[in-house]
Amino acid sequence: MTNISGNWRINANGSQGFLILESQDNVSFTGSIRLDETAERGDAIQGTWNDAGRTINFNRPLPDGSTQFYTGFLGDNHAENLILAGTITDTVNPGTFAGWVASPLQESATYVLSIDNLHCNQTRDTISLPEFTGRDTDYGALVTQVLTQVGYGEVLDQKQSIGSVHHGEDHALDLQLTVRLQANESLTFSYLFINSGFQGSGAQETGQFLDKLSGAVRDALNVAYPAEKVIWEALNDLTLGLNQLQFSGCDGIVAGDKITFTAAELDQLMPVAGARHVETREYNRYDHQLPCQTPDYTVTWSFTRQ
């Protein structure tokens, strides 16, 4: 028997939120639904659960007087991936249907993902005055997205203007995002660092430039690229997304990646609050044009479990 009472996450027609079901007899129930798009209110619901038929039905009256009707079916091949999924219709357009899915709310862990350090072993630039050595001007962006049991979460991003970078230098960064993960969810993050001679004269121009950079990194979350290609080269081949970043001279990518962790993997790496996982990756395979140089950078990033 499936106990229907409890707290659920729901995705109703693409809008995510929470569903609360309360039942004394596991047949009839009341509860509420609160969706992100209308988070200022929770709507009362009432309905029935047919355990033998694996079917749930409930009504959601809306403030405008209309009523939504939810019908769903159990999916329980694997208890850890249990879902209710089905259709929504309403009194306004009774012949029109949308999809919905719900999954039991589980304990979650919170992680802070941080890009901590950018180290330059070799600039793209060959020589600049007055240093008489290579000088890159770097910008970075970090983007992350969680795949939950009821759909993809919002894309979160951070970006930073790093400034002048020379051989051998370390640059502490302030790119941090906080994510919550339930069991059986996964997290994908992408980061990109570029050298650009972009000469923005004001905060607004720099902000627009960083927005374009962040947009390109968002694209990378979903790019499916050939294994032999570095992700950013493949992405640029396909979308030309980086071209709008005003590359010229020795401008170009100096470091970038796309990485996925499951909740189980993160839990194994950091089983308790306060635990930290640190990785450093080197990037030294990006193309360059003469007389520029092949850039060689390392990026150190970490997860800290809260």
Partner 1 sequence: MTQIVYTTGIENSPYPILHRSQWHINANGSVGTLTLQSTDNLTLTGSVIFDDAPREDMIQGGWDDVGRRIAFTRTIPDGTLQFFEGFLGDIRAAQLIFAGKLTDSVNPQGVSGWAAFSPILIV
What are the start-end ranges of the H helices in the chain? 203-222, 231-239, 263-269
Closer to partner 1 by Cβ: residue 82 or 177: 82
Site membership for partner 1, residue 74 (CB under 8 A): yes
Confirm if 244 and 212 have CB atoms less than 8 A apart: yes
Site membership for partner 1, residue 86 (CB under 8 A): yes
Site membership for partner 1, residue 40 (CB under 8 A): no
Site membership for partner 1, residue 265 (CB under 8 A): no
Tell me the window of 18-26, 52-60, 124-132, 193-201 that interacts with partner 1 (CB under 8 A).
Answer: 52-60
Site for partner 1 in 137-176 (CB under 8 A): 145, 147, 149-152, 155
Closer to partner 1 by Cβ: residue 185 or 296: 185
Confirm if 270 and 303 have CB atoms less than 8 A apart: yes
Task: Give the residue, chosen from 105, 221, 230, 269, that forms a contact with partner 1 under the rule CB under 8 A.
Answer: 221
Residue count, binding to partner 1 (CB under 8 A): 53
Confirm if 76 and 69 have CB atoms less than 8 A apart: no
Task: Give the residue, chosen from 237, 279, 282, 287, that forms a contact with partner 1 under the rule CB under 8 A.
Answer: 237
∠ CA 75-81-83, rounded to 5°: 40
What is the rounded CA–CA span in Å between residue 33 and residue 59? 10
Beta-carbon contacts of residue 202 (< 8 Å; ≥ 6 apart): none
Min CB(68)–partner 1 separation in Å? 13
Task: Give the residue, chosen from 43, 51, 116, 219, that forms a contact with partner 1 under the rule CB under 8 A.
Answer: 219
Tell me the window of 169-177, 230-238, 258-266, 297-305 that interacts with partner 1 (CB under 8 A).
Answer: 230-238
Residue whose C-alpha is closest to residue 4's, from 17, 22, 19, 18: 22
Site membership for partner 1, residue 192 (CB under 8 A): no
Beta-carbon contacts of residue 286 (< 8 Å; ≥ 6 apart): 230, 232, 233, 252, 253, 254, 294, 295
Q: Give me the amino acid identity at 250.
A: C
Site membership for partner 1, residue 234 (CB under 8 A): yes
Distance from the first to the final alpha carbon of the chain? 36
Closer to partner 1 by Cβ: residue 225 or 247: 225
Residues that bind partner 1 in the complex, under the rule CB under 8 A = 11-15, 37, 53-55, 72-79, 81-88, 96-101, 145, 147, 149-152, 155, 184, 219-226, 229, 234-235, 237-239
